[in-house]
Structure 1
Amino acid sequence: MPFFTPFQSAIRHLASELKQRFAGENFAPNPAALPSSLASENPGIRGVWIPSTDCQVLTSKQRIAEAMKFLADTGFNTVFPVVWNRGFTAYPSQIMREKFGAKIDARYQGRDPLAELIVEANRVGLKVIPWFEYGFVSSYNLNGGHLLAKKPEWAARDSSGNLLKKNNFEWMNSLDPEVQEFLLALMLEVANNYPVNGVQGDDRIALPAEGGYDEKTVKRYREECGREPPAHCRERHWLHWRADMITEFVARLHRELKAINPDLLLSMSPSPYEWGLVEYLQDSKSWVDKKLVDMLHPQFYRRDFNAYKQLVDRLIGEQLSGEQVQCVSPGILLANRGSHYSINPELLLQVIAYNRRRGIQGEVLFFYEGLRDNGNALAEVLKNGPYAR
């Protein structure tokens, strides 16, 4: 395993550094306050994503402290701060320093936003589950960015041999064991060194269905299946063979996370099933069936109630059993700056009420700044309604 030796060395170094830096701080996460398995009673996740795009929270310790207090006062209990996007980390990473010479995103030089956020979240009783937003994505409209410039052999390829690009995101090869090892090392680095409640992957713990045509994956398919990959990228056998490799990665991540601490939670926020399987090789139903995830937040980013209701009804009626639904807290779209969308308060209350009616006890909202729009209008609606203490 090519990353384990430097990974272990990095862990020891960073653990020592953090211990010195935050001596005396109350770094005591409380995993018991969140569901530790599908069978446990779900007290209801009231979560929110904190990105670095279109959001200023992570840019200073003062903003972090103000945001954590605001969220706690509003009635939230869990935050999902971004720690991995655009090919950089929002914490000092020895893995990144050793492999790519970039210990932290340049915006945060001299700081550790993740550590700062944990301190402030603990101060007000919020749980912290770091969000690895980019997953296996290397860059956005940068031809692979600095990751693939250094490691061109990590690039995902389409059937024409081109760098795999979808919706302007450029992808590493999620099916390559070395690439998987790298992302796993990053996620375990955080789990080992920070007092978090778990880690989160999203719709980029995946691979666009157009991928998998690199030499290494083609060779493996020939050897295991005795045939060539089909030109049609969604041919059933080829699609499921690749999806199973993503599922195996999730299984390993879950196993190794629990080896660090059985109370650590694996949270995943995939695209809605079965679209996510056909388009991005995310077999999230199998993840739940095999008990590979503790918390599932399917991205039910719909802008009208009937469309949202259909996704919930399909999830409960066709995809998951009653017990399995306990791990589900859907993702709800509050705002999208690119399309100038902002959910109206009536729709937000309507979808949360429908979640409860169908036995879904929580949700995760995308994203923080949507709560602050229009004089904190949505936050006030939640604070005085479903999130009232």
Structure 2
Amino acid sequence: MFKLFRIKRGLILLVSSLIITILVILVTSKISTATQRHEVRGVWLTNVDSQVLFSSQNLKNALNRLNKLNFNTIYPTVWNGGYTLYPSSVAQKVLGQSIEPIPELKNRDILQEVIKEGHKKGLTVIPWFEYGFMTPIDSELAKRHPDWLTNRYDGTKIDSDNQAWLNPFHPEVQQFMIDLIMEAVARYDLDGIQLDDHFSLPSEFGYDDYTVGMYTKELKGLVPSKDFYETFWVRWRADKINEFMKNLSAKIKAVKPGCIISISPNPLHFSLPASLQDWFTWERREYISEIVLQVYRSDLPRFVTELERAEVDLAKTHLPVSVGILSGLKSASLPINQIESQVEEVRQHGLAGVSFFFYESLWNWSDEAPIVREKVIQRMFPNSVSRG
């Protein structure tokens, strides 16, 4: 009888111990989430639907706010709509304009401003070459260099967003992009540069004479498929962009070895066939040093599915993989509780952090008051941490 009592008592103690252990793990997990030691906490600063870059005071106010809320990384746009947003001698030579000709940028160097003010606040500053190979059809770039543009099989040059595309296979286009990026890398005390989903080419493009000529010369007897999703035609063009990325990466590392080479692509299952952007190869071959994966999904299960893909699991063992979270658009606000849930999923999946698209929509265009949204951000980021 006494022996049975001891066995029961032992089982009770064992179960109690297991319960306590589980509770400790859960509590520790919650605590560690709230007191991250390293985490990317970023935000994109845009020149569309936002005034943050259009005056020195607006910029200072924004960086003060981000610093107060324990952000540590900013991605300010510097190449948008066919213009640089900072004075560029490369742009002057190629476009005839050193900077976007608007009053808000006159006599200013916003890249220098954002680096100076950002570094004062301890923020990592990674300028974002947002437009990549995309340019408005009526831009000076498109007008001055029509031979740099590519087209669809039917000869049309404008995509569904009324944008034209520079031919990423053309050597003069490649040199322009290299010169533009390298000018910023060499001239400014930036922490890195970022390329996104526009550093690519929609797969329906690439039927210009230059590219077709290159293809038929390399592959005797073959012509590009009319089907722009045809596997070999996709692979050939993606590999050409891979070669260019290798070249660009080597040049950046040679000039500034510690420069973060960040990319913000779409998930691979879309980016490769639809945009010829094989970022998984860039990651495997160490052309890049950071990924901020755009996962702009409102449905939480779909959001989580993108975090659990094999290429994401592989990449995060190799370099920091953060997640781009949509915080809203002027035409489509998003509730802050959705944003908070997505941040928590990113943490639970062991990813490096988050970046929000974009600054303005973190606070505005929502049914919730800005102060309410700000309090939730304070809850998400209760303490100051380094980006790792």
Please indicate the TM-score interval, normalised by the length of the shorter structure.
0.7 to 0.9
1:380 aligns to 2:386 (yes or no)? no
Which residue number in structure 2 is paired with residue 324 of structure 1?
Answer: 317
Matched, 1:117 2:110: no
| Aligned-partner residue type, residue 360 of structure 2 | E
Is 1:58 the equivalent of 2:49? no
1:190 to 164, 184, 190: 184
Q: Which among 94, 100, 106 is matched to residue 99 of structure 1? A: 94
Aligned ranges 1:232-271 → 2 under 5 Å: 232-271=227-266
SS in 1 for 2:53: helix
User: How far off its partner does 1:353 sit?
Assistant: 1.2
Displacement after TM superposition at 1:377 (Å) = 3.3
SS in structure 1 opposite 2:322?
Answer: coil
Q: Partners of 1:122 and 1:282 in 2: how far apart?
A: 32
**2:82/2:135 contact within 8 Å kept:** yes
Question: After superposition, where does 1:1-389 map in structure 2 within 5 Å?
Answer: 43-107=38-102, 108-139=105-136, 143-226=137-220, 227-314=222-309, 317-321=310-314, 323-324=316-317, 326-337=319-330, 340-373=331-364, 374-389=369-384
- By how many angstroms is 1:325 displaced? 6.0
| Alpha-carbon distance in structure 2 between the residues aligned to 1:377 and 1:196 | 33
One-letter code aligned to 1:331 = G
Counterpart AA for 2:323? P
The alignment of Structure 1 onto Structure 2 pairs a total of residues equal to: 341
1:324 Cα deviation after fit? 3.2
Structure 1 residue 157: Cα displacement: 1.1
Distance apart, 1:52 and its partner CA = 0.1
Residue deviations 1:71-118, cap 9 Å, x none? 011111010000000111111000111122101111212111111111
Runs of 4+ in 1 over 6 A off after TM superposition: none
In the superposition, relative to structure 1, how do residues 144 and 176 fare at CA in structure 2: closer, same or farther (>3 Å)? farther
Q: Is the 8 A contact 2:94 2:141 kept in 1?
A: no
**Distance across 1 between alignment mates of 2:292 and 2:208:** 31
Q: Label 1:306 to 1:180 Cα distance change in 2 as closer, same or farther (>3 A).
A: same
How far does residue 330 in structure 1 lie from its aligned partner after superposition?
Answer: 1.0
Please state how far the C-alpha of 1:278 moved relative to its aligned partner.
0.8
- Asked whether the 8 Å contact 1:370–1:378 carries over to 2, the reply is no
Any conservation in 2 of the 1:76–1:387 contact (CA below 8 Å)?
no
**CA deviation map 1:7-62 (0-9, x unaligned):** xxxxxxxxxxxxxxxxxxxxxxxxxxxxxxxxxxx932111000100010111111
Tell me if structure 2 keeps the 8 A contact 1:155–1:164.
Answer: no
Give, in angstroms, the shift of residue 343 of structure 1. Answer: 2.4
Structure 1: how far apart are the matches of 2:382 and 2:273? 36
Question: Structure 1 residue 336: deviation in Å?
Answer: 1.3
- Relative distance call for 1:292 and 1:387 in structure 2 (3 A) is farther
- Judge which range, 288-297 or 324-333, deviates more: 324-333
Q: Which runs of 5+ in 2 are unaligned?
A: 1-36
- 1:363 partner amino acid: V
For residues 257 and 248 of structure 1, the distance between their equivalents in structure 2, rounded to whole angstroms, comes to: 15
What RMSD in Å do the two structures reach over aligned CA positions?
Answer: 1.6
Contact 1:288/1:324 (8 A) holds in 2: no
Amino acid at match of 2:242: T
CA shift, 1:293, in A, is 1.0
Q: Is the 8 A contact 1:285 1:320 kept in 2?
A: no
- For 1:45, give the aligned amino acid: V
Change (3 A) 1:379 1:299: same
Contact 1:166 1:208 in 2 (8 A): no
Q: Which one-letter code corresponds to 1:370 in the other structure? A: S
Structure 2: distance between partners of 1:43 and 1:244? 35
Q: Which amino acid aligns with 1:112?
A: D
Q: Which moved more, 1:102-111 or 1:126-135?
A: 102-111
Larger-Rg structure? 2
Percent identity among equivalent residues? Answer: 34
In the alignment, what sits opposite 2:32? none
Describe the SS at the equivalent of 2:268. coil
Please report how far the alpha carbon of residue 136 of structure 1 lies from its aligned counterpart in structure 2 after TM superposition: 0.3
The CA distance in 2 between the partners of 1:138 and 1:323, in whole Å, is 32
Question: Tell me, what secondary structure is at the counterpart of 1:191?
Answer: helix
User: Secondary structure of 2:295's match?
Assistant: coil
- TM-superposed CA distance for 1:175, in Å, is 1.6
Deviations 1:317-356 (A, max 9, x none): 355426536421011000112xx22222222121111111
1:388 CA drift (Å) = 3.0
The answer (yes or no) to whether the contact 1:121–1:128 under 8 Å persists in 2 is yes
1:57 is paired with a residue of what secondary structure? Answer: coil
- Report the Cα distance in structure 1 between the residues aligned to 2:328 and 2:267, rounded to whole angstroms: 18
Q: CA deviation at 1:369?
A: 0.6
User: Could you tell me how far apart the structure 2 residues matched to 1:63 and 1:156 are?
Assistant: 38
Check conservation: 2:283, 2:315, Cα contact below 8 A. Answer: no
Partner of 1:5: none
Q: Which stretches in structure 1 are left out of the alignment for 5+ residues?
A: 1-41
Q: Tell me how far 1:378 sits from its aligned partner.
A: 2.9
Q: SS state of the match for residue 314, structure 2?
A: coil
Q: 1:177 to 1:258 in 2, by over 3 A?
A: same
